Amino acid sequence: MTDTTPSIHDLVDPDKLTSYLDSALGGHANATVEAHIAGFSNVTCFVHRGDTSYVLRRPPPGPLLPTAHDVAREFRYLDALHGTSARVPEPVVLCEDTEVIGAPFYLMEKKVGHVIRHEMPAALDTPDDRRRIGLEMVDALAEIHAVDWQSVGLTTRGGNYLDRQLKRWTSQAELTVGKVRDLPGLLSLSGWLASNKPSSSDVTVVHGDFKLDNVMFAPDGPATLIGVFDWEMATIGDPLADLGWLMHIWGRPDDATDDMELPVTALEGFASRDELAERYAERSGRSMHDFDWYHVLALWKLAVILEGLYVNYKTGTASNPASDAFEIQVPRLIARAETLIARS
């Protein structure tokens, strides 16, 4: 099989980057670039220049959807939020000239710590630190939502955020259902969400993809969240959508089976979803009366996304053969959402 992974020179020309940074940052120092493999969105590289290291973010190579992988948007949010209560890395420079490395890009400070994905780092692997991780995440999220977005120069797209979400993802669900199998539950969830939509009153910065592997914790305990990353889906909207998205991959699902792959947050010591919701209510002053709706929204959105990837797998266009797992995972997500609806 041919390896189609782009090389570092396909992503960044170190000589052109060196010249650009000499002009933008002053002085002269050769820039060396190191690829960092993480996530499935924008490409992340480490740039070493003299005694300083940065993180470079750029879109992946190849054709892109018009609004996808907008690194300028990421930079604008980082730039607006840096210096507020939000725990974001310091943005350094934005370059929208595609002649430099072949795509727009930005640099931000390189923080050092732990990004937790599938296993706990030894330095934080205690029951106390596991619990602190969840509480730190909720506290950091409440801090983001507390920022006065207008005073820092951010703007809204207009219209109701929840209406936009429902319209976008219902369209995706309708395009997906029936392509390779019948999933009436997916469309039923669309209808329930539309019929039971809360009347949203709060409008804040929304990260859009707030989850465990998009934050960093300090190298040593006690667990302290030091950075929130991956702002490419940030917008102005309903803050509880962020908390709902965090919940969809947090803890042990109520219907977990012995063969189900569980997130690291299902380990003993991690705060429960109810405890996190209570902590957020305490920190933000917001009511959790309609919170199950936002949890269902997150489960439904993930089910729509994964079913699209499963359709690609069944039709032979998937880039990752592991997409076959979604045959089981999508119905499980639908079932979890239906259980939440019955409870609420």
What is the domain partition of the chain in residue ranges? 8-109, 122-343
Helix H or strand E encompassing 71: helix 71-81
Mean pLDDT over 215-225 rounds to 97
Q: Which of 310, 307, 339, 63 is nearest to 192 (CA)?
A: 339
Q: Per-residue pLDDT tens for 86-110?
A: 999 999 999 999 999 988 999 999 9
Contact 49, 30 (CB under 8 A): yes
Question: Is the pLDDT assigned to residue 2 strictly greater than 90?
Answer: no
**DSSP designation for 223:** P
How many other β-carbons are positioned within 10 Å of the β-carbon of residue 317? 9
* Residue 26: CA count within 13 A, CB half-sphere: 1
Q: What's the full length of the chain, in residues?
A: 344
Q: Which of 54, 41, 44 is nearest to 232 (CA)?
A: 41
Q: Which of 207, 203, 204, 202 is nearest to 88 (CA)?
A: 207
- Work out the mean pLDDT of the chain and round it to a whole number: 89
Angle between helix axes 240-247 and 127-145 (nearest 10 degrees) is 150
CA 7-11-12 angle, 5° bins: 115
> In angstroms, rounded to a whole number, what is the distance separating the alpha carbons of residues 296 and 335?
10
Q: pLDDT-derived band of residue 9, with 50, 70 and 90 as boundaries?
A: low
CA 320 to chain CA mean position, Å:
20
How many other β-carbons are positioned within 10 Å of the β-carbon of residue 229? 23
**DSSP designation for 35:** E
User: Any idea of the CA torsion for 98, 102, 103, 106, to the nearest 10 degrees?
Assistant: -90
**pLDDT for residue 324:** 84
Residue 248 tokens read as 């969809």
Q: pLDDT-derived band of residue 161, with 50, 70 and 90 as boundaries?
A: very high
Q: pLDDT-derived band of residue 219, with 50, 70 and 90 as boundaries?
A: very high
Indicate the CATH number for domain 122-343: 3.90.1200.10
Give the type of residue at 324: D
Residue 81 main-chain phi, psi, to 5 deg: -85, -25
Q: pLDDT-derived band of residue 319, with 50, 70 and 90 as boundaries?
A: low
Contact 226, 111 (CB under 8 A): yes
Mean pLDDT over 162-168 rounds to 93
pTM (two decimals):
0.90
- Topology (CATH) of 8-109: Phosphorylase Kinase; domain 1 (3.30.200)
> In angstroms, rounded to a whole number, what is the distance separating the alpha carbons of residues 217 and 228?
9
Question: Is the pLDDT assigned to residue 212 strictly greater than 70?
Answer: yes
**pLDDT for residue 65:** 40
> In angstroms, rounded to a whole number, what is the distance separating the alpha carbons of residues 167 and 172?
9
Among the residue ranges 54-63, 69-78, 144-153, the one predicted with the least confidence is: 54-63
Give the type of residue at 227: G
